[in-house]
Amino acid sequence: MADDQDLLKSFGRVMLIEDDLVDRMTCQRLLRRLGLAEELICFADAEAALLGMETDGGFEADVVFLDINMPRMNGLEFLQEIHKSEKVQFSGVVAVMVSTDLTAELQMKFEEIQYVKAFIRKPMTADELAAVSTEIEGRI
């Protein structure tokens, strides 16, 4: 992995939406250590992320790492709200869905959404992030 790290392409501007503090800190640390984020903004829930994106001058991400299972608004609901929003330009954004219990049925549901390009199981590892970087390289 250490030799491959130099070959990884940055995701660019990254948004992380993750309600679990430990998972959020782990992902932040890995993204920074691997040099995969030029800019990084984190939200502890999808509602805060949506509000942040809808405000004037909101953060425009290239890649969004989105936890599937969150209280109040889950990952699917977030993507549905983004799609309906007139204030957020989300076209061209790559969504990477993150979950501890990623079933084939759930994955199929998300694959129907145009923004979703990859999936990662928690706890996230450097190897998984590297694989996602390679997988979505041409889509950013």
| Cβ contacts of 128 within 8 Å, gap of 6 or more | 120, 121
| Reported pTM | 0.89
State residue 95 phi and psi, 5-degree precision: -105, 130
Residue 7 lies in a domain: no
Read off the CATH number of the domain in which 104 is found. 3.40.50
Give bridge partners of residue 63 from the DSSP assignment.
14, 94
Domain tally, the chain: 1
pLDDT class of 57 with cuts at 50, 70, 90: low
From 46, 53, 50, 63, select the one nearest 115 (Cα to Cα). Answer: 63
Residue 100 lies in a domain: yes
Residue 6 lies in a domain: no
Residue 71 lies in a domain: no
Residue 114 lies in a domain: yes
* CA atoms of 25 and 9, how far apart (whole Å): 21
pLDDT, tens digit, 9 for 90 and up, residues 78-111? 999 988 888 887 778 899 999 998 888 888 888 8
User: Domain residues for 33?
Assistant: 16-61+82-135
| Cβ contacts of 24 within 8 Å, gap of 6 or more | 16, 18, 42, 44
Residue 54 lies in a domain: yes
Residue 106 lies in a domain: yes
pLDDT, tens digit, 9 for 90 and up, residues 12-46? 999 999 999 999 999 999 999 999 999 999 999 99
